[in-house]
Amino acid sequence: MEKQRWGDSPACPKCGGMDVYKMMSRQGGREKHNRWRCRDCSSLYSVRTGTVFEDSRIPMRHWCFGFWRAATSKKGVSALEIKRQTGLSYKSALFMMHRIRFAMAPDDGNPLTGIVEVDETYLGGKPRHPRDKRKAWSSKAPVMAMVERGGRVRSMVVPDVTAKTLKQAIRDNVDRRARIMTDEARQYRGIGPEFAGHDTVKHTAGEYVRGEVTTNTVEGYFSIVKRGLNGIYHSVSKKHLHRYMAEYEFRYNRRGMTDGERTVAAIQAADGKRLRYRDPVTSRGNVLPAQLQPDLR
């Protein structure tokens, strides 16, 4: 883990000093918490300092296992499964997996380019029993996804699906030189002039592909997420939905990597992501409504 995080230069996280050394125990070998000490500022630190592992008693081998499962399981991995496989309590397993999802949350906000397919759907909540005729929408949250054809996906929980919200999200995430493709939903009408163009497919008329105009990529992405949420997680509250979205997005955007590379990428993404309890964890700086703000306590 030290090698993955620091390479060959384990600089002091407090002052950046390079004059550091491994603390040893009296019996020889590393000190029991594997700490380092900085000669410049005298601070003690370990590989956990300044990451999602900080302030946790969960052994590092379980963290590594959790990262590997989260980075390599196509549909996701439930806390219950992690509990069974590690012996951690359910609460600890859930805590750990939420933090791993937080580490996977993207911070590269580079605009999407080329052809960008945009769509929205409702996700989360509990799957409805087939005989239950009541609407289950109230427990679901609106989610928007934008996918570069052949490239990256960016998804987010949005407060509503009004034209104002959806258009603003496109402006915040898509390069002006991109071509936007959506279905015929009226919320997207009029966005074309702000970009290189806007094409729509008319699903209501049975049209899904017209030349290169289609939203099949973004719809395919949503179907991966839906299969995972329904099959693995069963029930995801609005409050935590953005974390799960980050997890699916992370895997999709690194689909060309090997499992090992993707696991290391997730661990490295944990760097500098020490979760401060009081901060509302917003996706890409969007202010989430109060009911969507996380509570990890």
Phi, psi of 294, rounded to the nearest 5 degrees: -75, 155
Q: Which one-letter amino acid corresponds to residue 102?
A: F
**Rounded least distance, CB 14 to Zn ion, Å:** 5
Residue 15 contacts Zn ion per CB under 5 A: yes
State which of residues 5, 17, 72, 199 lies at the interface with Zn ion (CB under 5 A). Answer: 17
State which of residues 18, 41, 136, 287 lies at the interface with Zn ion (CB under 5 A). Answer: 41
State which of residues 4, 11, 14, 54 lies at the interface with Zn ion (CB under 5 A). Answer: 14
Separation of alpha carbons 87 and 29, rounded Å: 27
**Rounded least distance, CB 54 to Zn ion, Å:** 17
Number of other residues whose CB lies within 10 A of the CB of residue 102: 21
Separation of alpha carbons 277 and 271, rounded Å: 17
**Rounded least distance, CB 11 to Zn ion, Å:** 8
Between 21 and 90, name the residue whose CB sits nearer to Zn ion.
Answer: 21
Contacts of Zn ion in 167-206 (CB under 5 A): none
Residue 19 contacts Zn ion per CB under 5 A: no
Torsional sign, CA 232, 237, 240, 244:
positive
**Rounded least distance, CB 31 to Zn ion, Å:** 17
Q: How far is CA 120 from CA 4, 43, 110, 128, 179, in A?
A: 37, 48, 21, 20, 17
* CB-based contact 52:270 (threshold 8 Å): yes
* Binding region for Zn ion (CB under 5 A) out of 31-39, 73-81, 193-201, 242-250: 31-39
Between 36 and 221, name the residue whose CB sits nearer to Zn ion.
Answer: 36
**Rounded least distance, CB 41 to Zn ion, Å:** 3
**Rounded least distance, CB 38 to Zn ion, Å:** 3
Separation of alpha carbons 158 and 282, rounded Å: 11
Gyration radius (Cα) of the chain, Å: 22
Size of the site for Zn ion (CB under 5 A): 7
Contacts of Zn ion in 83-142 (CB under 5 A): none
Separation of alpha carbons 207 and 212, rounded Å: 12
State which of residues 2, 21, 22, 40 lies at the interface with Zn ion (CB under 5 A). Answer: 40
Residues binding Zn ion (CB under 5 A): 12, 14-15, 17, 38, 40-41
